[in-house]
Amino acid sequence: MVSAWMTQGCVKVQQWAGNLEDWCNDPYKCQHIAINRSSQIPPVTVGSSVVNPAAYVRNLGVIFDDNLAMSRHINNICRGATYALRKIGKIRSFLNRATTEKLIQAFVISRLDTCNSLLYGLTTKYLSKLQRMQNSAAHLITLTKKRDHITPVLRDQLHWLPIQQRITFKLLLLIYKSLHGSAPAYISDLLSPYSPPRELCSGNVRPHNNLTRISCRTKTYGGRSFTVSAPILWNATPTHIRDSPSTSSFKKQLKTFLFKVAYEGLNFVT
């Protein structure tokens, strides 16, 4: 009976190994990438299958490149958003503004907001492409001319945050949920409350609800990571927003604050 069980187990292991090798032979399912590689990375060998390093990989719908510029991912977003804008534009004359805005939110803005926290720290060179998509969507909803200044449309008519502030909003919301037990543990574990190494002087005020800042060597890669960027953004956020009693209250106050940052020149770390 034991020998039969061992034989059956060996057969299952062989089947699993064969399935793994078949999986590795599929270039769309098995890829590996090295970020900021300074030298040639050797391929990974699994059985008789060889998996060569890729210049970019896709994970959960997000395209990562080997220098984390996210250029392919941004181009992919813009491609899908442009297609949706063209389709909606063809029927715009048959739609009222409310219906058009719902379609834009569903097929364009949702693309711009999906996983946008991964774009934190990118330069204007890359984020400007997404901003142009948002501007085009605003023109289509309000039927304003392309040469018209877009800021009053975004601010006064649509009440939309620009792309940079939308990314900041998503990150701060994730931090708030992490600190209040509404985020996965693997994200919450990346944050730690700040505690001074020694007692402060009697005249100093103890930092309220701050997070411990983590130092990094590289600004391009390390500075954009959640463990580094999250404490910087959170500590710079006004205390009355961080102390919001509920998620809905936090979102409302944070959008108002970022609105002032975007359109009234209020200083804030972004």
Residue-wise pLDDT for 177-204, tens only, equals 999 999 999 999 999 888 776 665 544 5
pLDDT of residue 154: 95
CA dist., res. 229 & res. 172, Å (int): 10
**Tell me, what's the pLDDT at 268?**
82
Q: Say if residue 152's pLDDT is above 50.
A: yes
Specify the amino acid at residue 219.
K
- Give per-residue pLDDT as tens, 222-261: 788 899 999 999 999 999 999 999 999 999 999 999 999 9
Say if residue 262's pLDDT is above 80: yes
> 215-224 long-range contacts, Cβ below 8 Å, gap at least 24?
218/36, 219/121, 220/68, 220/121, 221/35, 221/36, 221/68, 223/121, 224/68, 224/120, 224/121, 224/122
Res 2: pLDDT: 45
> How far is it, in rounded angstroms, from Cα 216 to Cα 224?
10
Residue 66 has pLDDT above 90, yes or no: no
> Residue for token digits 């250029």?
71
Per residue in 21-48, pLDDT (tens digit) is 555 556 556 777 777 766 677 777 766 6
* pLDDT score of 238: 94
Say if residues 77 and 112 touch (Cβ distance below 8 Å): yes
Share of the chain above pLDDT 90, in %: 58
Cα separations in angstroms, 70 against 46, 110, 153, 189: 29, 18, 28, 26
What SS3 state is found at 237?
A: coil
Q: Per residue in 142-172, is it b (16+ CB within 10 Å) or e — as a string?
A: beeeeeeebeebbbeebebbbbbbbbbbbbb
pLDDT in tens, 111-140: 999 999 999 999 899 999 999 999 999 999
Which residue has tokens 């990375």? Answer: 41
Gap between the Cα atoms of 35 and 56, Å rounded: 10
